[in-house]
Structure 1
């Protein structure tokens, strides 16, 4: 019994310490970002327009079964303000539904207007998105390649503004900031926008300000063809082909730029099942990329600080594993009869309290320095939103721990697309778009529901009886809210399918 007490206590303390370290790493990026903004860092200055003969640009649009958004996507690209003889639009269509027919109709119409659009169909989906991008790249010889997912609607001046950064021959990729078409649609979209805004301010901006590696986000950015080729091209051995190629390119010495002043509107997922699949892919892909690339990073000529920041970048998905371990340890400790329970409880509560402070600082910096108006400017509103987001992220920790472990051991899984439904404001619209609704509740939702009930029970036990569980009431409440929200949203979605 003593050994079990020591093990669970140690797991809780180590997990809490690791979570705090990751939170402090984010807070450090927030500090670097806000200081760079205040000092007018060079990264904040947009370059002058390209002088001389404009280069050729390819717009790659990888899609798979996007019948609700493909027409909107194509018509948006046709509005791009760039010489027609210098611009090629390439629809990389792997669809097996009516998307292909819709696309063919729209392309025929736009072609008559003088828009150069190629409708590319592969014999199979080998390599998924990475395979499609690689396949299309071999059909064209443009100097620069911009990539957009089906739910992105770049502004007409996107190409002219972004290509200007490539006047510096060392620049290999430019990533623009995502903005959101439907951030206020629901709790899900508000929380997703909140997290993405932090990524496109604190994380990208902080890394850039500290001269560390940033990454292409799979869409809303432009590449120099030579960079892709020099780094070995697109690879499909991870679910985040964008992160993988980004690190391979920067290890080779190419410079990446986060163009914060250039925004690219996009649609956020409105379904919990879509959030699950998207977050699973991003989390597992980051773990796969870390497993594949971390050693190469440390053997490279990059600065020591760049290696540290890059390591946190690739390993940040592991926080979900430690969140799960921390919660389960806190749930078990009051029942083990630990002699020094009070000391262990104090340590765990202190660790999680400091983590909360660091995280609130990070998101406050993101919203203030990133100038995102959708959240509102009230400090209480921001605090509420931050805590709600943290609780929901915690509620997904079982689902995403599985993603981390699969990525760590190299278990292959297919690339699951994120459904795009072209839903902006009317919640009733989703009922008419049943094709992507889940038909059954995933097993993980049952586990999340069970843990929600367990943590609620622990709160009642601690508050009702003289029990050690009262020491972790705050922790239990946090996990209870997180697991309750994500499981209830999933049950609600399944009931409407």
Structure 2
């Protein structure tokens, strides 16, 4: 019998790992907890097997050398990231769907009257068009006893009449103390002073539109009295900056899909689902019991979950698309939002309900906070370290990972293949290598800064509003965000060129370690190029991410046509399969909206763009049709093949 070479043996290990992924993902079901335990149990085994190999076979010997410092420090970064991953694996080994529970307990209050609900829309400086969508959806809620309040921290007088047109009440306060939490608390104190306070309050950000069944579905889960809060996912009708700037809005999901569609249901299965602010419904008596919204963190939503748990109330999660909103359109806003989340978590860790403080929180709740801490404080430094450490070899001959290629394939390769397969098994292909790295790296430096500041000096930081809307018609290069990645790209590329073309820098004595560093470097260059590309913000106009085009009737030039409508806003539509002249009048017949007049605004390949002129009733109906009904907008599943195809199109065309 012929013996296998080390390389052949390593390739066999890789093939076996890939075959295991294929077999398991074919016969197992991600909705079954026992099947998830099998997958994540094996993923954890391969992760521990890999880190054990790293600890025993690849590190520089102890001594007063730079090799030792670099090798062991990077290993510690890697151990921290792996610890965060193992915690996530444990959480993801369970999942829970409450849709059947919501079906079974719909109208649990019958034959008594339906509970009274107040919908609180918190706003600061959002445009009229943004508020118009939200009010149109809130005024069409399919629920018998609901009042809508617009909580205006911008103190805009025009908003009073605008809100009244949708049957909503405009509420202002004299100052902006405690930002969003203070705004909501001001309204809650007003509501609690009424003769008949609402039984529940629903919280919406100004850019989040409720679907008509938002209240009927969420209220069904309050059939048990210890449920204090029901959270629902945040879906987005526009692409986030990573999707858009890389041209992947049709094939790659927004960055928050994994958290809302997969991690939150898993957290719910462990009893540690968290409030995420908007798109939540809260029992008013529970809020009164805990003194309303907490104000000692800029992430008052996560802290509210802990405050309620400390008082004996549960937070549960309904994984259904019952609202949809506006994702941050600009990179600065995208990064600012995530840095604020990190800062808020650090404030909670250092606060009265921290995991190591004496309080009534359960062990699971404390684990929930530790898991968040591991993610925010360890994952991002490791991602940056993975970009920096290979540079040390090319310039200083410092070897970080001293390993043979066959061993790398046997241990790291098997670990990577199986973990990637497991994560995509439970998420429908949401984890696409390289692109996933881009979304994480863009905010890495601000997040690391926020983590350090929050741990050292947790208090005294103002709440930074995530700006929405605004002019997005120009190409904008975010140089400040791009600069550290440009520096890393230049150093990496320069080091590689020196190493490849100058024998004095080739370090022939590195053996297989050089091949490992070479591959690592090439991957880093590709990731850095994608990050820099994502920092170039392309012009965009608002379009709803329609799942499928609609068939509509069009009257133009005295003739009737049935054509495809591939895009719709209150002001315009894109029509395919029809010709016309710019300025020519037309009438578009849209189901549930009516016949909307307009003119041909432009002629493009395969059709026309129409400028619509709806009356107010039709405009409101269009807003409700686009944002207040239907399934989840955008992409909820993905594949590397579709992402690659769209990226090639983006490179060829120069636009999304």
1:140-167 deviations in Å (ceiling 9; x for gaps)? 0322111011121111121122112112
Q: Where does residue 163 of structure 1 map in the other structure?
A: 219
Greater strand content: 2
In 2, Cα distance between equivalents of 1:216 and 1:5 = 45
Aligned to 1:375: none
Counterpart-to-counterpart distance in 1, 2:519 and 2:317: 38
Q: Could you tell me which residue of structure 2 aligns to residue 207 of structure 1?
A: 267
| Aligned pair partner of 1:82 in 143, 147, 160 | 143
- Residue 611 of structure 2: aligned partner: none
Q: Give the direction of change, closer, same or farther, for the CA distance of 1:341–1:181 in structure 2 (3 Å limit).
A: closer
Picking from 114, 117, 135, the partner of 1:54 is 114
Q: Secondary structure at the match of 1:292?
A: coil
Given candidates 402, 412, 417, the residue that maps to 2:465 is: 417
Distance 1:160 1:340 in 2: 57
- 1:27, 1:361 within 8 Å by CA — same for their partners in 2? no
2:349–2:355 contact (8 Å) kept in structure 1: no
Aligned equivalents of 1:218, 1:48: Cα separation in 2: 24
Tell me, yes or no, if the aligned pair for 2:102 and 2:220 is still in contact at 8 Å.
Answer: no
Please list the CA deviations of residues 411-449 of structure 1 after superposition, one character each: whole Å capped at 9, or x if unmatched.
543222222229xxxxxx721xx8xx98x9564532232
Aligned ranges 1:181-192 → 2 under 5 Å: 181-183=237-239, 186-187=244-245, 190=249
- Contact 1:71–1:103 at 8 Å: present in 2 too? no
Partner of residue 328, structure 2: 269
Contact 1:93 1:121 in 2 (8 A): yes
Q: In the alignment, which residue of structure 2 is the partner of 1:119? A: 170
Asked if the contact 2:227–2:315 (Cα under 8 Å) also holds between the matched residues in 1, the reply is yes
- Residue 517 of structure 2 corresponds to 472
Q: Is residue 401 of structure 1 aligned with residue 448 of structure 2?
A: yes
* Counterpart-to-counterpart distance in 1, 2:381 and 2:400: 26
Question: Is 1:19 aligned to residue 101 of structure 2?
Answer: no
Task: Map 1:324-339 to 2 at 5 A.
Answer: 324-332=384-392, 337=397
Q: Distance in 1 between matches of 2:228 and 2:478?
A: 43
The corresponding residue for 1:288 is 347
Quick one: structure 1 residues 445 and 390, their matched pair in 2 at CA, closer, same or farther if it must change by over 3 Å? Answer: closer
**Which of these residues, 474, 483, 490, is aligned with residue 446 of structure 1?**
483
| Structure 1 position 70 matched with structure 2 position 70 | no
Aligned residues: 456
Residue of structure 2 in register with 1:226 after alignment: 285
- Please say if 1:151 is aligned against 2:151: no
TM-score in terms of structure 1 length: 0.80
Indicate conservation of the 8 Å contact 1:71/1:102, yes or no: no
Contact preservation (8 Å) 2:102, 2:218 = no
1:278 aligns with 2:337: yes
Q: CA RMSD in A?
A: 3.5
Normalized per residue, the structure richer in helix is 1
For each residue in 1:377-412, what CA deviation from the matched residue of structure 2 results, as whole angstroms up to 9, or x when unmatched? xx6xx56x3431223313432222112112212254
1:259 aligns with 2:306: no
Distance, in Å, in 1 between the alignment partners of 2:269 and 2:427 is 17
- Residue 402 of structure 2 aligns to a residue whose secondary structure is helix
Deviations 1:45-90 (A, max 9, x none): 663323221111111111111014012212221111222xx32211
SS of equivalent to 1:400 = helix
Secondary structure at the residue paired with 2:328?
coil
Question: Which segments of 5 or more consecutive residues in structure 1 lack a partner in the other structure?
Answer: 369-378, 423-428
Task: Name the structure, 1 or 2, with higher relative contact order (CA <8 Å, separation 6+).
Answer: 1
Alpha-carbon shift at residue 317 of structure 1 (Å): 1.1
SS of the aligned residue for 1:104 comes to helix
1:152-184, Cα deviation, whole Å (9 max, x unpaired)? 111112112211211210100001122221249
The secondary structure found in structure 2 opposite 1:53 is coil
Unmatched segments (≥5 aa) in structure 2: 1-62, 193-197, 540-656
CA distance in 1: counterparts of 2:191 and 2:328, whole angstroms: 32
Aligned-partner SS, 1:122 = coil
What secondary structure sits across from 2:186 in the alignment? Answer: helix
Check conservation: 1:30, 1:362, Cα contact below 8 A: no
Q: 1:386 to 1:395 in 2, by over 3 A?
A: same
Query: 1:177 — aligned with what?
Result: 233
| Aligned-residue offset at 1:456 | 3.1
Report the Cα offset of residue 11 of structure 1. Answer: 1.5
For the residues of structure 2 that align with 1:339 and 1:186, how far apart are their CA atoms?
A: 38
Q: Which residue of 1 aligns with 2:309?
A: 250
The alignment partner of 1:153 has SS state of strand
Provide the TM-score with structure 2 as the length reference.
Answer: 0.62
Q: Distance in 2 between matches of 1:344 and 1:413?
A: 48
> Of the two, which has the highest radius of gyration?
2
Q: 1:296–1:276: structure 2 CA closer, same or farther, 3 Å change rule?
A: closer
Are the equivalent residues in 2 in contact too, given 1:146–1:221 (CA < 8 A)? yes
Please identify, of 176-185 and 315-324, the stretch whose mean Cα deviation from structure 2 is larger.
Answer: 176-185
